[in-house]
Structure 1
Amino acid sequence: MPDPPTLPSPPVRRRLLGVLFAGSALTRTGLIAALTVAALAAEDMLGSATLGGLPAATATIGIAAGTPPISWLMARSGRRIGLGVGLAVSAGGGGLAALAVNAGSFPIFVAGMFLFGMGIAAERLSRYAAADITPLRRQAFAISLVVWAGTIGSVLGPVLLAPAEGFAESLGIEGLAGPLVMAALFAAVAAVVVLRWLRPDPLSFAPVHDPAAPSRAGPRLAGNNARVALAALIVGQVVMVMIMTMTPVHIRRAGEELGIVGLVIAAHTLGMFAFSPLTGFLSDRFGRVKVIVIGQIMLLVSAVLASFAAGDERVLLVASLFLLGLGWNFGFVAASALLTEGAPASSRVPLQGLADSIVWTSAAIASLSSGALLELGSYSLLALLGASLVVIPFAVLARYRPGIAATGS
């Protein structure tokens, strides 16, 4: 059956995907840098890692809090306006966080990270804009291309940590404020790129997918898709956040330099993003559920490996954090594609916003508790707890898989 004629032409689709890719690449570069130094800055200000996960948790709470209003704005005014406004808010939050680090004000730092996260919610929702303009059979691949933009962030974000820190110190300000300034600037540039060039608006093409929906997926099917997808998205995000957030503290406590922290986080974020096109291809070719299962297995193995890694065991940390990122990627791309199959355009954006809000709220709880778990127990305990959570998606899948359509099976 030919693609609906009202989808954008291939040249227009490629241009829109390019704009989404650029906006995501800029934002994620700054995000990786900001999250990497957040726990370190908190520990420096407070003298303890007990609340070290609070800034990252607050940013994640910001994502959860920002997702409903931004998704509402997207549904009302289009993806372009929603994404542009969100990125502008993120730029302001990053700037406030940098000022707070320089002033040594932890409460203002937390407030800045909250605003920073609220804007990041828009970038997270941009992956669905790629699906709006793409035929159903290739939507997972389109989503993966936007996620793939994070590869740039995974390389540049950690690599730019030391230069940004050095530049800040050369200006006489706190070194850890440098990466936050960089994050704010990158978000501002991304906002300009999106507002200027994301035309026509991707959401205008979303109803094209409706004619096939009634015959492929009724309300029950859409619900089953959402349940399985949500379980995979939540657990993948929680396990990844718990382990990743405290890894920099674990490494620095072993006496390693910030550059080693950057190396390990670079490997992790490379796993998160670099293989996204492959993940999207596999999801479209073999089904979303199969790719989700592979991703959960990767998460399990990575968490177990991390539980055996001392802070100065660079090879084991690099391997476990890379696999952690790759497992997250498999689940994130495939579950995002599965989430809204069968949902009509009128409810698609609200469903996406609701799902993302639940995911980021869960991740915020994980991030907030990770510092306390590290202080009360150990990094190994943190990793093993993450490993135990992987049973949840398998239980949900066993219950609801019979109701999932062929594209997701």
Structure 2
Amino acid sequence: MSDTLDLGEAKRTAATFAISQAFVGACAPIAISIGGLAGHYLLGADKTFATLPVTGYNVGVALGALPAAMLMRAIGRRYGFSTGALISSVGGALAALALIQHNFWFFAIALAVLGVGGSFVQQYRFAAADAAPAIFKPKAISWVLGGGVFAAIIGPQAVIFTKDMLQPVSFAGAFISVVALGIIGAGILMTLRTLPVPVEDANAPSGAERPMLEIISQPRFLIAFVCAVTTYALMSFVMTGAPLAMISCGHSLNDATLGISWHVMAMFAPSFFTGRLIVRFGKEKIVATGLILLIGCAIVALSGLALWQFWFALILLGVGWNFGFIGATAMLTDTYRPSEKNKIQGVHDFALFTTVAIASFASGATLNAYGWDMLNWIVLPVCALCLLVLLGQAFVVRHKS
């Protein structure tokens, strides 16, 4: 196959994943914006566990990562990804049924199933990159992440237009929309052609595969890992509590849902130029910028409870996550060899989404016990500590040179 045909097929594959990301990826904003509110609605007087369904979603993403990869190796990516989209539909149907039955624990399990479907979505960008020639890989990833911008619009709008569809049961209609989104995504993914087995870049550093302990004990690995996991966990911590805080401050459900929409768009939209910024300014500076933006998010949130303050804080939270997480992930790729990437990525994703799940649960407990301000006060010292670690690394590198 010629280079021209390879590039054309890569573009087609990336576009297919991007369109599917817009639909199946829209299930995540629905789960996040409605999960905590529905949990609050299902519980009695004690709202401590209100965000547990969102935690269930994140647990599902973590637990589904490795089985998703195994399934796709067994039956191929076209059928594997389509199955993942249909699992999202099943999760949506179960969530709607749980709300109709007014069963909190059933609802949390249903969102975990929805999270398993979401674990397939997490792999779209990797599959698009694997199917692309080296010159197109960054754009392939950007195309897929660009679909996330549309997911940020489709998901919250689906909530606004369908949440009352099954009244008097609140929110159940929104999860019926998840069923439709998953089915649409499965249909799109079935148009994928057979994807080539990824070939290692001939110019990439090579060498024998090292023991796991040797890899993860590298100072640069540890710093990148801590910054990546911390950035993602803080984003989940604040984002999960934000809709509940907005409702408790007298803002409407539509306002809370739109706030999540702005937040998710802010998470994905910068991806179109984050890579260029990393090339120009360096990975560490972009990570530091992301952490500073997270601090800005906390400061804005602590400044007041007006709708614009909630929305602006959520936008800063999204952009801060984008810079911090993508920059830290780029740092991480410097610390392992191509032969080691599968096991490192597996450990990274498991630790990442386990921490994110804990953060989403802690968000509800903290909000219920101490209020919205405390969520944001916690962000400040954690980000400051990560910034100090980055500065320490920069000092050591400069001193050695």
With the length of structure 1 as denominator, give the TM-score of the two structures.
0.86
Distance in 1 separating the partners of 2:178 and 2:279: 33
Where in structure 2 are the equivalents of 1:4-403 lying within 5 Å?
A: 9-47=6-44, 48-74=46-72, 78-134=76-132, 139-169=137-167, 174-194=169-189, 196-201=190-195, 204-205=197-198, 207-214=199-206, 226-310=221-305, 313-341=306-334, 343=336, 345-398=338-391
Question: What is the root-mean-square deviation in Å for CA atoms of aligned residues?
Answer: 2.9
CA contact (8 A) 1:231 1:392 kept: no
What is the CA-CA distance between 1:10 and the residue it aligns to?
1.9
- 2:304 & 2:68 partners in 1: Cα distance? 39
Mapped to 2, the partners of 1:328 and 1:383 lie a distance apart of 15
> CA 1:392 to 1:15, structure 2 compared with 1: closer, same or farther past 3 Å?
farther
Q: Which residue of 2 aligns with 1:407?
A: none
Distance 1:140 1:81 in 2: 25
How many Å separate the matches in 2 of 1:289 and 1:188? 41
Distance 2:221 2:90 in 1: 33
Task: State the TM-score, normalized to the length of structure 2.
Answer: 0.87
Q: Greater CA deviation, 276-285 or 351-360?
A: 276-285
293-302 or 318-327: bigger deviation: 293-302
For 1:278, the aligned partner's letter is F
Equivalences, count: 391
Does the aligned pair in 1 maintain the 2:164–2:171 contact within 8 Å? no
> How far apart are residue 401 of structure 1 and its match?
6.5
Residues 226-253 of structure 1, C-alpha deviations (whole Å, 9 max, x = no match): 4344223211211111111111111111
Q: Deviations over 1:23-51 (max 9, x none)?
A: 21112212212221111111111134311
Quote the offset at 1:100 in angstroms.
0.3
> Please, which runs of 5 or more residues in structure 1 have no aligned partner?
405-409
Structure 2's unaligned 5+ residue stretches are none
Are the equivalent residues in 2 in contact too, given 1:86–1:118 (CA < 8 A)? yes
Percent identity between matched residues is: 28
Contact 1:140 1:283 in 2 (8 A): no
- Maintained 8 Å contact 2:224/2:332: yes
Change (3 A) 1:59 1:289: same
For 2:229 and 2:321, the matched residues in 1 are separated by 10
Tell me, what secondary structure is at the counterpart of 1:166? coil
Quickly say closer, same or farther: Cα 1:111–1:292, change in 2 above 3 A: same
CA distance 1:261–1:198, change in 2 (3 Å)? same
8 Å Cα contact 1:140/1:281 also seen in 2 = no
> How far did residue 179 of structure 1 move?
1.3
CA contact (8 A) 2:85 2:117 kept: yes
Change (3 A) 1:91 1:387: farther
CA contact (8 A) 2:264 2:318 kept: yes
